[in-house]
Structure formats: C-alpha cells, structure tokens
C-alpha cells in the first residue's frame, strides 16, 4: 500500500503508526507532485481530501494510476442539516462572528453534496457507474473537544486570529448554555466506481 500525505507531521505520524506493517509505504508529497506509476494500483482511496486537488488533475491521474480492473473509493463526512435550538444558536454565532463561513459547504444539505460528487465523477469520463453508500454516525463532544475539532477545519483555521478567537468563544458559550456537550451527527458517504478502459 502506498500512502501519500502532504503534511510533513502527518506523514511522520502515519509512518510511525504503520511501522509494524512492512507493506505500507508513506510518502510526504502532494498527489499533484507524485510521480505517476501508470496502471500500478488496484484501488485509489481518498478520505476527505479529493476535493482539494483540481478536478482536471485528480480524476485523470487517479484513473491513469489504476490497473484495467481498478476502482476508486472516495469518502467524505457530510453534515446533516439540523433545525434545533442548539444549531440555530450556533448559526447565529457564525453569522455574527464569521459571516463568510455561515454559507459554507458544511451548511449544504448532504444530498446536494452527494449529487454534485456523483456528477463530478461522471463528468470526468474516466469511471463507470458510481455506487454510493451512506453510513450515519455521531460523536459527543465537550466544548473543549469541539473547539479542538474546529481547529482541524481549514475554513476555521484560515480566519484571522482575532476572528477565530471570537468565533470559538461564541461557540464555547453556546455549548455551555446547552448543557456543556454537543452531539454531532455525521453522514459518512462512500463513492465507489470502477475504471472505464
């Protein structure tokens, strides 16, 4: 198994965690910069990352790396739209503290994201029928854990430091007001398609 990781620290962590698996190789490189191994792989897997690479590069390069019987498996966690008092209060914090994030992709209904992803795979012309599987799950977070989670989201990290600080303070206040913990639902979605040759 060959794993590509752009982040130097994450690549080092992955290499450490996979040390007991001699068949796993971690390369600290962007997919775009990776030297293509044409038709060398049975499966290309990407979790939460495929959309960061320009579509004119990512689908063609993924397809070129696959054997004639190969497939892609793309995973994302989507965020079901909720209309609860907690979610409305959180949305108000985003509107007042970081308005440009209030309409981000995280607020788009999951089925719209699924539709767009299937369309993108189909429009690439490299893959056959897309099989979509949905796996709902949830996680309970304290205010500290939720703020730590937000610190992993690029949209939040790209905010100016004072904006991010004010946003996170507002998020913390909402969580504390609603009992100190938040149950966050997710929808993990798998998109699987075989290569067309």
Q: What pTM does this model have?
A: 0.84
User: What residues contact 123, with CB distance under 8 A and at least 6 apart?
Assistant: none
Note the pLDDT tens digit of each residue in 144-179: 999 999 998 888 888 999 999 999 999 999 999 999
Share of the chain above pLDDT 70, in %: 97
Domain 31-194 has CATH 3.40.50.150: yes
> Could you tell me the CA-to-CA distances from 91 to 23, 148, 186 in Å, in that order?
45, 18, 17
Span between the terminal Cα atoms of the chain, in Å: 23
Inter-residue contact 78 to 110 (CB < 8 Å): yes
Domain ranges of the chain: 31-194
pLDDT of residue 172: 97
Note the pLDDT tens digit of each residue in 63-116: 999 999 999 999 999 888 888 899 899 989 999 999 888 755 456 788 999 999
């Amino acid at each position: 198994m060959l794993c590509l990781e752009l982040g130097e620290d994450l690549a080092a962590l992955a290499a450490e965690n996979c040390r007991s698996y001699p068949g796993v190789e971690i390369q600290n490189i962007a997919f775009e910069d990776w030297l293509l191994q044409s038709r060398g792989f049975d499966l290309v897997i990407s979790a939460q990352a495929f959309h960061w690479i320009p579509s004119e590069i990512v689908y063609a390069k993924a397809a070129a790396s696959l054997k004639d019987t190969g497939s892609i498996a793309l995973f994302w966690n989507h965020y079901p739209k909720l209309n609860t008092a907690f979610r409305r209060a959180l949305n108000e914090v985003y509107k007042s503290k970081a308005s440009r994030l209030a309409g981000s992709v995280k607020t788009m209904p999951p089925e719209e994201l699924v539709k767009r992803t299937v369309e993108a795979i189909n429009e690439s012309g490299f893959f056959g029928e897309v099989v979509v599987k949905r796996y709902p799950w949830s996680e309970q977070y304290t205010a500290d854990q939720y703020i730590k989670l937000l610190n992993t989201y690029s949209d939040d990290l790209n905010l100016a430091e004072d904006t991010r600080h004010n946003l996170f303070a507002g998020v913390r206040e909402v969580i504390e007001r609603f009992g100190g913990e938040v149950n966050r639902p997710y929808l993990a979605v798998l998109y699987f398609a075989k290569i067309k040759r």
